[in-house]
Amino acid sequence: MDLLKVLVVDDESRMRKLVRDFLTVKGFSVLEAEDGEQAVDIFFQRKDISLVILDVMMPKMDGWEVCKTIRQYSRVPMIMLTARGEERDELQGFKLGVDEYISKPFSPKILAARVEAILRRSNMYEEGPAEAGGIRIDQAAHQVTIDGRSLDLSYKEFELLTYFVENCGIALSREKILNNVWNYDYFGDARTIDTHVKKLRSKMGEKGNYIKTIWGMGYKFEVDE
């Protein structure tokens, strides 16, 4: 199978190299663009790019314009990578159709994990069931088992548990969970997440303890050793 192609767009060559090196190790083919205009040209010339990692502040055409231009023709997954971390910037990104928003400085390891998780949700990977700590998630069959016992989950509970398992060991804010499980155009109350987590933990029995609460922030799925 051909390697999935990721387009990395950043005017800093050092940043592009950092991201490229980590993604290459993970088995991706990486293309690079040093400004927005070049990014748009490469994207429409290649037509086989699976994901775009996009900086906001760039010469010639900024990240917002690149995103708007591509979104007119494609729903390719996009990660916005920027030093600007204000809430209004994140909201603008999600309104334009950005799938993920990561602020610099960032962990390349976590970025690579986000790329893999987004591509899995986009059905770019043909992978088997996800497993962690005796929990087995078969997305194709929409089934969850714990130590071989079938778990009866609602659609959103299934999506939430899948998101947790895909991001095992990563702290997730309530806002990030809303954006990824309920989608960026959901303007509900973040307490919706707490309600679903409570129900999910109850159904999971002792394995519900894998979903750790991070007070004042959100949750982290972590398998006990």
Do 53 and 71 lie in one domain? The reply is yes
Whether residue 136 sits in one domain with residue 116: no
Contact 23, 30 (CB under 8 A): yes
CATH number at residue 150: 1.10.10.10
CATH number for the domain spanning 74: value is 3.40.50.2300
Q: What is the pLDDT of residue 138?
A: 82
Which residue, 64, 87, 121, sits at the end of a domain?
Answer: 121
Say if residues 77 and 119 touch (Cβ distance below 8 Å): yes
The verdict on 202 and 94 lying in the same domain is no
Alpha carbons within 13 A on the beta-carbon side of 172? 30
Report the alpha-carbon distance of residue 102 to residue 81 in Å, rounded.
5
101, 121, 141 - which closes a domain: 121
- For the chain, count helices (H), then strands (E): 8, 12
DSSP state of 224: -
Q: What pLDDT is stored for residue 159 in this prediction? A: 85
Residues 90 and 20 placed together within one structural domain of the fold: yes
pLDDT of residue 1: 43
Please indicate, yes or no, whether residues 92 and 53 belong to a single structural domain of this protein.
yes
Specify whether 66 is located in the same domain as 147: no
Of the three residues 121, 149, 166, the one that is the final residue of a domain is 121
3-class DSSP assignment, residue 171: coil
CA distances from 79 to 131, 141, 195, 219 (A): 25, 28, 28, 21
Q: Over the chain (225 residues), what is each successive 10-residue block's mean pLDDT? A: 84 92 90 94 89 89 90 86 65 73 81 83 63 83 86 86 88 84 61 90 94 92 81
| One domain for residues 91 and 162 | no
The domain in which residue 115 lies consists of: 5-121
Do residue 86 and residue 13 come from a single domain? yes
- What pLDDT was estimated at residue 71? 86
Q: Beta 135-138 vs 130-132: how paired, if at all?
A: antiparallel
Number of domains in the chain: 2
From residue 222, how far is each of 95, 114, 193, 196, 214 by CA, in Å?
31, 16, 18, 18, 12
CA dist 59 and 216 (Å) reads: 37
